[in-house]
Structure 1
Amino acid sequence: MLSRAQRPQAFAAFLNPAVVGAVQAVMAQEYELKRGRAMVWPLALILPVLVLHRSTREALPSSIRTHLPTWAGRNPALLAGFGLRVDSTLPVLREGLRFALRHSLIQVEGGAVHAVPWSTRRAEGELQELLKAARLVGKWAATVDQPSTLLALLGVRV
């Protein structure tokens, strides 16, 4: 992947570490609130792709009443390229995680991402849309018993 300075301007602006870190932190916060324990850190490097990829984000359900396996079965075309999207955005996702750690949005403890509570009420526009989707995905992921099951549903091989 290109360095941040070499990335196209629109790509660099949208997938900057602050935005990606905020998505990861909100996702971890909602996961922890729903599940009662912190999110395992690999999910913070995989799940944001559901939010950051516009077509996938727009196909997400409006609530967690739609179960993840049901949604996955209805959206095989989106999930067909999911693993490749994760691979191609991994450097950006790592940058976001480092940003979130450095700015105390999250803490990594015992192999899990613990979110530090913070408010997203001032978010507007597309950022608000991203964070709303991140909240949904965080809650949604918390409903799946094992991270390995979640990764298998998304077609990710570790």
Structure 2
Amino acid sequence: MTTTPPTGQSHAPAIDTAFAERPPIVAAMYNPALIACLLSTAADAYKRQVSSGMPLALSFIVAPLALHRGTRDSLPTTTSIHLRTWMERNPLVRAGFPDRAQALVAPIRQGLRFALRHQILELRADTLVPQNRLLPKVPEHPELDDILCIGRLLGRWLAKNDTATVFALMGVAP
């Protein structure tokens, strides 16, 4: 069964349920701590490229790109490829992105609250600034390592683009 939010886009109800009520695999992938760590990694890489923090709105681009294996596997390994070029080469990613992004709004908000509450990120004038705080040792796991590596790549890559352009290329609105 799916629900239809006011936007008219369908999404899986498991993502909207309370964290404890989610199926184990959904709870693991959409864990607020994992999303906080991903966003902190991306914000840190973004800030290294430009002096300002990462725009808050980009959180809703980073997480769907990094957490979806098919999308993550199609991402370039370098930031030398322009976002527009990558999107043109991956039309299926663009076609499915709006639904994935909409489905992840609630988990991303939970991850952001977790990051702010635990002082992993700071919100300054609609930008996310990573705190110079050591994150706990993340358990070694190939998929987790891949997600965080992609988070760093996305932070650097998205810093090269205007936020409005990123949203337009992805086919979504902030």
Asked if TM exceeds 0.5, the reply is yes
Instruction: Find the residue that maps to 1:62 and give its secondary structure.
Output: coil
Q: 1:50 aligns with which of 41, 61, 65?
A: 65
Residue aligning to 2:44: 29
The yes-or-no answer on 1:80 pairing with 2:116 is: no
1:121, CA displacement in angstroms? 9.7
CA distance in 1, matches of 2:158, 2:68: 17
Residue aligning to 2:12: none
Stretches of structure 2 that go unaligned for 5 or more consecutive residues are 1-15
Instruction: Find the residue that maps to 1:45 and give its secondary structure.
Output: helix
Structure number with bigger Rg:
2
CA distance in 1, matches of 2:112, 2:106: 10
Residue aligning to 1:143: 160
Instruction: Find the residue that maps to 2:77 and give its secondary structure.
Output: coil
Residue aligning to 2:24: 9
Question: Once superposed, what is the RMSD of the aligned Cα atoms?
Answer: 1.6
- Give the letter aligned to residue 171 of structure 2: G
**TM-score, normalised with respect to structure 2:** 0.85
Deviating above 2 A after TM superposition, structure 1's stretches of 4 or more consecutive aligned residues are 117-123
CA distance in 1, matches of 2:65, 2:81: 15
Aligned 8 A contact 1:51 1:133 in 2: yes
Q: 2:126 aligns with which of 111, 119, 127?
A: 111
CA distance in 2, matches of 1:28, 1:80: 26
Stretches of structure 1 that go unaligned for 5 or more consecutive residues are none
Pick closer, same or farther for the CA change 1:8–1:39 going to 2, 3 Å.
same
CA distance in 1, matches of 2:36, 2:22: 18
Count of aligned pairs: 157
Aligned 8 A contact 1:108 1:114 in 2: yes
1:119, CA displacement in angstroms? 5.6
Identity of aligned residues (%): 35
